Amino acid sequence: MSPSAAPAVSLDPVLSSGTVPRHVAIIMDGNGRWAKQRMLPRLAGHKAGVDAVRRVTREARRLGIAALTLYAFSSENWRRPEQEVGDLMGLLRIFIRSDLQELVSENVRLRVIGDYRRFTPDLVAMIDDAVARTAANNGPILAIALNYGSHAELAAAARRAALRVGADGIDEAAIEAELDTHDLPPLDLLIRTSGEQRLSNFLLWQAAYAELLFVETLWPDFDAEALAAAVTAFGLRQRRYGGL
């Protein structure tokens, strides 16, 4: 079995032992390859990827994961063709319109990390409204990374920390307090789909002691069973944080 593969074991012992990760992050990779394999346009892969988001967020709630962070649009994705960027923005609008009420009714609190204010004003307004409508919820957190890059996050956090405590007062706690994820639980598990084994400028600080899991499954094929298998794999690992 590959070191990155999730073992085919029952999830029930993991759930009962209390080893479900509090915070899971996913690099949702493989939409384009999924579409290419089926001789479909890339937009079809992105649409299938949105369906996977729905399946996985619902399963995360069922499993009791407190926070789920999804890498939806990186700061590097602007380099893609203008048509594809427009398609992604359109799918984001559709997702907000179609799924926001479910998040509200399921007591999910929506968070957005990244500089999403670079988007068009109408989309920024939609995102702000969605965040505001779920702000009073006290259940699981769904964090969406939009126009996010970890290098930019860390640089901005350092600037804010310097203004708040001065250069000599900057330490790890000062940086962490200024990160986009400052109000989320520590990252426990980071999953990347599609077989690629790199972090692609995603949650670099937060992933310092996270468990990493790279799976071959393309994102549109990632489902509830795949997330449950990843949680099971997490529960079987030993986290030493540098100790014995």
DSSP tag of 70: E
> 29 among the known binding-site residues?
yes
d(CA 153, CA 169): 19
d(CA 128, CA 125): 5
Which structure tokens are listed for 159?
Answer: 């600037």
Report the relative pairing of strands 141-148 and 211-214 from DSSP bridges.
unpaired
Q: Please tell me which residue in 12, 29, 183, 201 is annotated as part of the active site.
A: 29
> 205 among the known binding-site residues?
no
Percent of the chain as helix, strand, coil, to the nearest 5? 50, 15, 35
d(CA 84, CA 100): 24
> 117 among the known binding-site residues?
no
> 211 among the known binding-site residues?
yes
> 239 among the known binding-site residues?
no
Q: Please tell me which residue in 12, 51, 77, 128 is annotated as part of the active site.
A: 77
> 182 among the known binding-site residues?
no
> 30 among the known binding-site residues?
yes
77 is catalytic: yes
> 164 among the known binding-site residues?
no
* Alpha helix ranges (H) inside 3-81: 12-17, 31-37, 42-63
> 34 among the known binding-site residues?
yes
Task: Write out the catalytic residue numbers.
Answer: 29, 77
Binding-site positions read 29-34, 42, 46, 74-76, 78, 80, 192, 198-200, 211
Residues of each annotated binding site for substrate:
30-34, 42, 46, 74-76, 78, 80, 192, 198-200
**Binding residue positions for Mg(2+):** 29, 211
